[in-house]
Every structure is written in structure tokens, then in C-alpha cells.
Structure 1
Amino acid sequence: MQIKTYLFKNGYWDNQLDEGMDSDNTLVIMFGSTNVLKVKNGIDDIVKTFPRATIVGSSTSGEIYGSEIFHDSLSVSVVHFYKSSFKVLVKEISERNSYDVGKEIVSDFPKENLKSIFLLANVLNVNGSELTKGLSTNIPNECVITGGLAGDGVEFNKTWIILNSQLMKKQIISVGLYGSDLRVEYGCKCGWSRFGLDRKVTYSQDNILYTLDNKPALELYKKYLGPYADQLPASGLYFPLMLLEDGSEEPTLRAIKAIDEEKNSITLAASIPQNSIVTFAKANLDELIMGAQEAAERLIRNYDGKQKALCIAINCIARKIVLKQEAEDEIEVVHDTLGQNVSTIGFYSYGEISKVDSGGCNFHNQSMTLMLMYELEYYD
């Protein structure tokens, strides 16, 4: 497995593109600016240099390259598989059919030696929690599912995903990775602290939360926020809801998107099941960075550090906003934890998808999600 990473910034590449890596078994992954004009020449260079390769990618709320964060750039990885292979599916998706599309993706991929499914979709037309429910049906337990929803800062209208030279908005791209010598690992941590009592969701509809313990959800939420309540919904970024699910090693966060004073309700970034148990969460900068480190440590617990590997980091835009000047610190701690043989690219997203230990996958908000892939090499 040969891996090279590149950064396109201000019209220039940091290194010359290696056309010798082009093949039918080469996968190019790119994450880039929502302002396509700023990266169009870079995309054109990739398409021209790797005509036989398969190219996938998405827009971002910030590009991750190595240990740094960039904007209005392209963060690119070129992977030439020696012993493994991949298959790509593209499907139209909407909020209404997200569950069914998830089931179709799992059904359409051949299962023999399927090690991982990596997904990219547009935040504007996907119900992330329903998608992951569909993906979790009949998936082999050992299959690692990861991915994210394309971001565009805070505008929610310029997102894109790409397959080869075609920009798309209403599709989901799925990459199935195959091979007996291929290894794929995952790590996902939120790093947010829970506070307050556990509460039962007594009335909800899809992603709208009406009551907790039969009390108006917004009224209760404001009580916990205290002086921050007057700054809603903006302050909700710092106080997400934590969903406590049975069988999940990592709690699932639900970001606060909006509030309705008249209905005393809270609109979340994904579905919130009725009768589920939740609590409130708060940001602690040191714990957020520690969470990123724990995700990286989880990622390499079966990796000996000898093989060349690629890490794809999908981080939530909310963490970047909350951490501010310290946002790069959590990228640096991931980079340092993974070691010198791991190349890292990634992006800031509007929702993260990660495998759970009990099988299947889950949809996250405000979490750091990592994927590591490499081919086994045998040493004397």
C-alpha cells in the first residue's frame, strides 16, 4: 500500500503530484473549500494526473492536513493498494429515505472480505441518525463503518461532494474496502463532561424534543444553563445533549440547532428516540483535547507502527468553534499519538459516523472520529 498526501493552497501544491501512483486500484480522497473557484485548479490537476484512479471527496468547514488546520485549500491523499481493493456506490438520498438508503448500501456491497465502508454525504439532505440505523442492519460485525457529512462553515448552502470530476449535492458516496491483508481501525470520542441528572425523553418527534421527565424540555434546559440561557440558541453549542445508549461504549451527542419558545421545545441535529435516557453536557477544553487523544489511542491499539498507514480525521465544526485558538492542539495531539508512519488528512463536518463496539455504527455530533487503514506487511 503506497500512500502520499498533498496540500493545495493559494494556487500551489506543497509537493509535485506523483503520476506514477495512478492505477485502476488507486483511491484519491480529497477534502476542500466550499469556494470551488479557489480549489478548481487543484481538482483539475488531480483529475488530470490520476485519470485511472477513483476520486472521492467533500467540502469542509476546515481542512486537516498533517497536524495543521487550513481553509480554502485541498487536503488530498492518494492511496495505491497493492493487495486490497475497493468498490464505490453512489445513491440519491434525502431525509425521508435515509434509513432505506442505508439498508441498500449494506445490501449492495458484497460481504466477503469487506473490511470497511467509508461514506460522504451532504448535510442538507441526510438524516444522519436514520442513515446509520439503516447501515447497521445485517452488516458484518467486523466491518468498520465511518464517514461524515460535508460542511460549509455556517452557511448551509454551499456543500458538495465529488466523484471523479463530478460535483454532487443530492447523493451519498460509499467506498467499500476489501482485502484479507487490509486492516481498518476506528476511534471516536466526544470529550464532553456530563452534568445534571439523567432524564427520560417522554415526548419527542424525530429531532424535536418536547418533554423530559414530563417537563417542558426548553424550560428545563434553560434552568440548567443559568446565565447562558439568554444566549440561546448560540450558547447551545457549548451545552449539547448527551444520549446514553445501551451497548455503546461512547455516549452520543446531539447538537442543539434551534429552540421554539412558543412550544417550549428544542430542535436537535438528529433524531432523539422517545423513552431514551439523556443528560446535559458541557465543554471543558482540556477534556476535549484529551478526548481526541483517547480516540487516537483507540485507533492504534492493534497497530504496531511499522506499516505505512492513512488516518482520516472527521471532526465536528462545533469543536473547532468551542476550542477557538486551541483547535489545532487536538489535531496535533492526534498526529503525535499516531506516530511517524501515519499520514493524516481530514475535515470539519456537520455530523460524524463511526462504528460502535457492539456492531453497526452510530451518528455523532460534536465528536472526533478517526479511521486508520493499512495493509499488512510481513517482516523476517
Structure 2
Amino acid sequence: MLKVAIGHSNDPDSLAAVSEVLAQCQMTLAGQSPQAGLLFAAVDFNHHLVLEQIHAVFPQLELIGGTTDGEISSVLEFQQDSLTLILFCSDEIEFRAAVGRNVSQNPAAIASSTATAAKLHLALPLQLCIALPESLTTSTVSILQGLEAALGRIPIFGGATADQWQYQRTYQFFKTEVLNDAVPILLVAGKLLFSYGVAGGWRPIGKRSRITKANKNVIYEIDGKPALDFYHYYLNNAVPDAIHPLAVFPPGETHFFLRGAVGYDSQLRSLTVSGDVPEQAVVQITDASVADVVSASHTAFTEALATYPGKTPAAALFFSCAWRRQVLGTRAKEEYRAIAHLGHAIASCGFYTYGEIAPLRENGQTFFHNTTFVTLLIGSQ
């Protein structure tokens, strides 16, 4: 059996907030000791204090977390400037937290060695990995490549940490440590049941083209022509932005992930996107209404619920993009409300990220997404 406890506070005082969160969790746990947890916090909290308070109550907790662009839970729904914690208890599921530090020095190698070392401490079969990596100092795509090198086709879920659009420094949490330039992971093994759904709301339009020249997250040519010309052709010379992300079909894939534009070079006619892209990937420009964006959370949750292999999940984890929150504005709260009635009995927790992590399809490769909503449902056998 998997038991879950969630606490969520929007008190601006760090001590008051973490005290409220811990009290809520302890009430649900009713004396049980959790093995692991995920902490999502606004960037302005005293994170050292928060982690010390959690450690004082649960000293053996396998805890990871990070800073956000907004927080979601079944306790307070969508919030900004808040603190939320989800805790896991099970005698049939094993959890192991680990962290790779100074990940920008060699993201793939550090991520791989971190996951490899953590696997050695597992006695049960590994089921999935949750990763909450740095987003500003290095390539999240390279981090995922390193994790996959160590884990194989074990699915990875999560999101890149955020700092409320300051784009200065995000923080990652590992037990009592507050870090940056790090990749904390939580390996989950044993008799775990899970399913997931991924949706953005944006739909591809226009003809399919191919990236013919790119370097990491800079696209130089599409169909042998300047990338910026491709963008301008469909958007009437508009400045590239996240409102019309690219649908990227990796080589060999029929599903796509989204890449939002973060800049361009008017002389080189190149396009910079929020995440590495492979050469020879097929791309299309996309379009969406606000209603389409809101309904994507419903789509992702419904997809996960339809494929869940058990009766009722114990918890739902949500990872939604900070760009989605910007596009939705005051309607951001509708993302959670669009699914609350479907999973009203399911404890839920999540955050707004600088990029989401999930496979495109079952048993497929894990990818880094933009402007996307990811639902992960978990339970026990």
C-alpha cells in the first residue's frame, strides 16, 4: 500500500509556512513515518530553515525538491509564493534520493554517475525516476541523456527548477542542502503502479519541415534555409516567442515535443529555443487558443487515468510550464480546476517549471518539453 500526505501553505513567513505544512502532513500520516518526499517552494523562502524543520521532524526522509514559478496541490489548488510538500509511505515501495552537484561541468557524466550510484542502494526492481534539475546553468537535455545512460528505458518524470521569471538563480533541494547547478533525483522501486499523460494544447499547422542545421538549442537552418525565415513565413514577420512554439518530431518518433523560442539573431537569421533540438528532426509551427491551453491539463490527466493499471491512484504529480502560466495569466488556476472534479479523491501536488520531463510514449525515450502539462499517477499493487 502507498500512503500519501500533502501539506500546502501560502503563509509568507518561512517558519510559519513549514510548520503549517508539517502539521497537515502529520495529521494525515497519523503516526506513520514517511520514507520520501518532494518539496516545491517559491524562490523567496528561507529554504535552509524550511529543510532544517522538515529534517527535525522526519530525519530519515529521502527528500528532494526545488524552487518554482507557482505551486499546485489538492490542498490549496494553484498558488504563487507558497510552499507544498508531498510525503510517501509504503512497505512495498523503495525510495532512494541522490544528487549530482556542479552539473554544468559535465551534465551527462555527472547525471549518469549520480543515477548509477543511487541504483546500487536499491534492493527492489527500479520503476521510475523523478528529476528536478537546474535549468539556467546547463542543458537539461544533456542531463536527461546522462540519466538515461545509467537507467536505460526506465521512465523519467519531473521538471526544471524555476525562479519566478527572474532568470538569475534557481535552487535545488537534497535532504538538508540548498543547492544550485545540481540535479537531485528520486528513484522509486518495488511494487509501484503508475501511468502518465502529456499534453500542451498547441496543434501543429502548416507543412512539415526538417531541421538541417542546429547546435544544441540554436536552430540555424530549416529545410536548408535560415530558421528565422521559416518562423516569419508562418507568423507574418512576428518576433519569435513562446506563443507559437515549434512542434519537434525527433528522428524515428511519431509524437512531438514543444520548443518555445527565447531569442533570435537577425544577422545569422537563427532561432534560439528553450532546450536542445536534434538535427534532422521534423518541425511544424503551432497554434492554440487559451481554451486549448487550459484543456490540455484535462487531456493529460484523462490520458493518465485511462491507462492507470490499478483501481485508484494514491497520488497525482503535476508538472506544468511557466510559459503556460504566463499565457494563461489570471486563468492559470483553471488548469487544476479543469481536472479537480475528475480526481477529487486523489491527493495531488506539483509545480510550474522551466521545462517538463516525461516520455513521449509508453516504453519510449524520455524528453525535455516546453509549454506542456505532465500528469504522473502513482499507486501500489
Who is 2:264 aligned against? 259
**1:249 Cα offset (Å):** 5.5
Distance 1:139 1:291, change over 3 A: same
Query: Equivalences for 1:47-58 in 2 at 5 Å?
Result: 47-58=55-66
**1:253 Cα offset (Å):** 0.8
Distance 1:245 1:5, change over 3 A: same
**Structure 1: stretches of 5+ with no match in the other structure:** none
Write out per-residue CA displacement over residues 292-316 of structure 1, whole angstroms, 9 at most, x where no aligned residue: 2121122122437754512111100
Write out per-residue CA displacement over residues 232-254 of structure 1, whole angstroms, 9 at most, x where no aligned residue: 35xx1101111013554641111
Distance in 1, matches of 2:367 and 2:286, equals 19
**1:4 Cα offset (Å):** 1.2
**1:42 Cα offset (Å):** 4.7
Who is 2:186 aligned against? 175
Answer whether contact 1:144 1:186 (CA < 8 A) is retained: no
**1:214 Cα offset (Å):** 1.7
Distance in 2, matches of 1:71 and 1:314, equals 15
Distance in 2, matches of 1:101 and 1:22, equals 35
Secondary structure of the 1:191 match is coil
Q: Which amino acid aligns with 2:84?
A: S
Distance in 1, matches of 2:309 and 2:141, equals 34
Secondary structure of the 2:342 match is helix
Who is 1:223 aligned against? 233
Distance in 2, matches of 1:32 and 1:249, equals 36
Q: Which amino acid aligns with 2:259?
A: R
Answer whether contact 1:93 1:126 (CA < 8 A) is retained: no
**1:59 Cα offset (Å):** 0.3
Write out per-residue CA displacement over residues 182-209 of structure 1, whole angstroms, 9 at most, x where no aligned residue: 1122221122011222111121112111
TM-score by length of 1: 0.88
Distance in 1, matches of 2:219 and 2:309, equals 45
Answer whether contact 1:2 1:308 (CA < 8 A) is retained: no
Query: Equivalences for 1:43-122 in 2 at 5 Å?
Result: 43-66=51-74, 68-95=77-104, 97-108=106-117, 109-110=119-120, 113-122=125-134
Write out per-residue CA displacement over residues 330-365 of structure 1, whole angstroms, 9 at most, x where no aligned residue: 21123322341x111111001111023242311111
Q: Which amino acid aligns with 2:357?
A: I
159, 165, 174: which one aligns with 1:148? 159
Distance in 1, matches of 2:110 and 2:253, equals 23
Q: Which amino acid aligns with 2:200?
A: C
Answer whether contact 2:100 2:111 (CA < 8 A) is retained: no
Answer whether contact 2:125 2:189 (CA < 8 A) is retained: yes
Would you say 1:7 and 2:16 are equivalent positions? no
Answer whether contact 2:62 2:95 (CA < 8 A) is retained: no
**1:125 Cα offset (Å):** 2.3
Distance 1:187 1:308, change over 3 A: closer
Answer whether contact 1:93 1:125 (CA < 8 A) is retained: no
Structure 1 moving runs of 4+ over 6 Å: none
Would you say 1:359 and 2:364 are equivalent positions? yes
Who is 1:345 aligned against? 349
Secondary structure of the 1:320 match is helix
Distance 1:21 1:308, change over 3 A: farther
138, 146, 153: which one aligns with 1:134? 146
273, 276, 284: which one aligns with 1:271? 276
Who is 2:196 aligned against? 186
Answer whether contact 2:25 2:87 (CA < 8 A) is retained: no
Distance 1:211 1:164, change over 3 A: same
Percent identity over paired residues: 22
**1:172 Cα offset (Å):** 0.7
Residues 282-291 or 300-309, more deviating: 300-309
Distance 1:95 1:284, change over 3 A: farther
**1:131 Cα offset (Å):** 2.3
Q: Which amino acid aligns with 1:101?
A: I
Secondary structure of the 1:137 match is helix
TM-score by length of 2: 0.88
Would you say 1:159 and 2:167 are equivalent positions? no
Would you say 1:371 and 2:376 are equivalent positions? yes
Secondary structure of the 1:4 match is strand
Answer whether contact 2:98 2:115 (CA < 8 A) is retained: no
Q: Which amino acid aligns with 1:68?
A: E
Answer whether contact 2:100 2:184 (CA < 8 A) is retained: yes
Distance in 2, matches of 1:275 and 1:348, equals 30
Write out per-residue CA displacement over residues 98-131 of structure 1, whole angstroms, 9 at most, x where no aligned residue: 2233433454425851011111111122312222
Q: Which amino acid aligns with 1:300?
A: L
**Structure 2: stretches of 5+ with no match in the other structure:** none
**1:291 Cα offset (Å):** 2.2
